[in-house]
Copies of this chain bind each other. A is one copy, B any other.
Amino acid sequence: MDKNTPDSISRQALQRMPYYLQALRAARDAGAEIISAPTVAAQLGLNEVQVRKDFASVSDTAGKPKTGFQTSELIAAIERTLGYDNTNDAVLVGAGSLGRALLSYRGFEAYGLSIAAAFDVDPNLTGGEISGKQVLPMSKLSSVCHNMNIHIGIITVPASQAQAVCDALVSSGILAIWNFAPMHLNTPEGILVQNENMAASLAVLSKHLSERLDSKLVD
């Protein structure tokens, strides 16, 4: 009954954090030791109160009226909240074009994510390396996850195989899944699935575009 929610941050608040981080770092690099919520809100196109609430939810030190928040303290608080300080290892399944793309992308390390190894069913791919990361057969998945204590799985296989891969990851001890396959994954309770559905993004883009171009014709 002791609900014990020390800091329950909503998902959308969490997703705003990286934007705050970027803005705060830029401000700090520009020499701003102190920054106010309205300033950040204006930069990001958000509501002042929302920004304040988000800041309050991660930082234990309060802001001071008329001045604002300590920039460096806020940055540290957000980084701590997001776990950017301690690196998380991950495995990637699916060494196709998208998988190779992510393996060669070096930007994740800045956010505390390190891809330890890749896996694939295709014997032509396994055994070699892609961007310095080993590509292993699926049979090694479980042992690698357990031995290296890995809890994050990245799925970059076609939709038809995604659910099977997901099940394999779950039984290998994976707790959080980053799903690039354009489909819904069924998982047991307690497993988080973060969908990175490019098709969904493209849907929004494409729809907006067609509406804009249609209205342009009317003009």
- Chain A residues in the interface with B (C-beta under 8 A): 9, 11, 14-19, 21-23, 43-45, 81-84, 88, 97-98, 100-102, 104-108, 111-113, 151-152, 159, 175-176, 178, 182-184, 186, 190, 192, 194, 196-210, 212-213
CA distance A152 to B208 in the complex (A): 11
Instruction: For A201, give its contact among B84, B100, B194, B205 (CB under 8 Å).
Output: B194
Residues of B within 8 A of A196 (CB): 196, 198, 201
Inter-subunit contact A205/B183 (CB<8 Å)? no
Instruction: For A112, give its contact among B44, B182, B206 (CB under 8 Å).
Output: B206
CA distance A22 to B111 in the complex (A): 31
Inter-subunit contact B22/A183 (CB<8 Å)? yes
Q: Tell me whether A212 and B22 are in contact in the complex, defined as CB-CB below 8 angstroms, given that A97-B106, A194-B201 are known contacts.
A: no
Inter-subunit contact B206/A82 (CB<8 Å)? yes
Inter-subunit contact A208/B183 (CB<8 Å)? no
Inter-subunit contact A204/B22 (CB<8 Å)? no
Q: Tell me whether A184 and B15 are in contact in the complex, defined as CB-CB below 8 angstroms, given that A98-B105, A196-B198, A205-B178 are known contacts.
A: no
Inter-subunit contact A9/B112 (CB<8 Å)? no
The minimal Cβ–Cβ distance linking A81 to chain B, given in whole angstroms, is 7
Beyond the given pairs A112-B202, A194-B201, 20 more chain A to chain B contacts, judged by CB atoms under 8 angstroms and listed by A's residue number, are A11-B204, A15-B197, A16-B200, A17-B200, A18-B200, A18-B203, A22-B182, A22-B183, A23-B184, A88-B209, A97-B104, A98-B107, A101-B102, A111-B202, A111-B203, A152-B205, A176-B208, A178-B201, A190-B212, A194-B205
Residues of B within 8 A of A97 (CB): 104-107
Q: Closest chain B residue to A216 by CB distance? A: B175
Jot down 13 A-B pairs with beta carbons below 8 A, ordered by A: A14-B200, A18-B199, A45-B184, A82-B206, A84-B206, A97-B105, A101-B104, A107-B198, A175-B209, A176-B205, A176-B208, A192-B212, A196-B201
